[in-house]
Amino acid sequence: MKKITILALHLSAGGTEKTIATLSNILVQKYEVEIISNYQIEEKPAFDIDERVKVRYLMPNLKPNAKEFKTALKKFQIIKVLKEGIRAIRILYLRRKLMIKAIKNLSCDIAISTRYIHNRLLGKYGDKNIIKIAQEHNNNGNERYIRKVVKSLKNIDYLMPVSKQLTQMYEKRLIDKKTKCLYIQHCLKDYTQKISSLTQKNIISAGRLSKEKGFLDLIDVFELVSKKNPDWHLNIAGDGEQKKAIIQKVKEKGLEDKITLLGFKKEEELRSLFLQSSIYVMTSFYESFGLSLIEAESFGIPILAFDSAEGPKEIIEDGKNGFLIPNRNKEEMANKINELIENKELRKKIGQTARQDSAKYKKEEVGKLWYDFIEEI
């Protein structure tokens, strides 16, 4: 039986971490799987991981202190800034040192890095007989970041970007390098047998409450929707650094009774929310793929997103399983949402197509691609 080791930064809530959990659960069906994680942010991983997967934390008693450092800096607490700065240096030093040690001691057939900071270490310190794979989950279009990723691939056998578009872009960058570019699509952790009735007057969006997710724009969009359809409600599931700003904007717009910030929701809770929702909206500025979109459409829910994010363009076929809104046009997005609200037959038709489309993301389908790839290398 082949052994596969996955290198992670942490296993808390996040798209990369959800992908790690799902991939581990697929691979452990046929192989021995271990996850080596730098940090243990929470007592348990945010997403369910098969009990057969071995999880090892390198720094179980140390966590990143970026938040504490920024707070001290903002409050001009000089002594605390110095203390947190020294602590941060120690944490980063240990993060690198302990991961290098773990990589040097790897006894596996395949190692998968899920962060570019681990790519370099895996390529430099990993045994030459190990097949080395680097997954790339970031699609922010930042040229500096892209160059860092390319530079990190020395001695890496395969680069697996998160989307077709990202794969094509990196293929052009890697023409003169030994690293091969390979795309295997993301998949749904579970394929629900229950679908939404699309009768409840709820719109849903989910994700980390951070600037790049565009939730402040979502408030503007929903304000326009609410003027025409005041009996509809918006639920936002997630947590993050922009929470206060979002709450403040909701208050300024006078939408406290029509928008609910639910905080982070576990998978079972999120599934329940999808079943009670009739439209899913994403307003991200950039998105590597869009796991929440395929999750929503698996429940037969029409999905909408701005085309400023590359990921949704791979998932949404405009007018078929949802709508892609050009140029971050808030008025146009509000119009499409209102069209779905007011036309039940259209909502049902697009929801059915969304459900059909989601079948290609079943883990059984994606698992076959992984198994074939692993058996061939």
CATH number of the structural domain spanning residue 240: 3.40.50.2000
Strand partners, 133: 112, 158
Q: Are residues 287 and 369 in the same domain?
A: no
Q: Are residues 161 and 211 in the same domain?
A: no
Q: Are residues 353 and 287 in the same domain?
A: yes
CB atoms within 10 A of CB 147: 11
Start-to-end CA span in the chain (Å): 14
Q: Are residues 366 and 350 in the same domain?
A: no
Closest residue by Cα to residue 277 from 289, 288, 262: 262
SS3 call for 114: coil
Q: Are residues 139 and 266 in the same domain?
A: no
Q: How many domains does the chain have?
A: 2
Assess if residue 197 is contained within a domain.
no
Q: Is the pLDDT of residue 348 over 80?
A: yes
* Side-by-side strand order, sheet with 158-161: 54-59, 32-39, 3-8, 110-113, 131-136, 158-161, 180-181
Q: Are residues 220 and 338 in the same domain?
A: yes
Q: Are residues 171 and 36 in the same domain?
A: yes
pLDDT in tens, 33-88: 999 999 999 999 989 999 999 999 999 999 999 888 888 888 889 898 899 999 99
pLDDT in tens, 218-239: 999 999 999 999 999 999 999 9
pLDDT at 181: 95
Assess if residue 254 is contained within a domain.
yes
Q: Is the pLDDT of residue 272 over 90?
A: yes
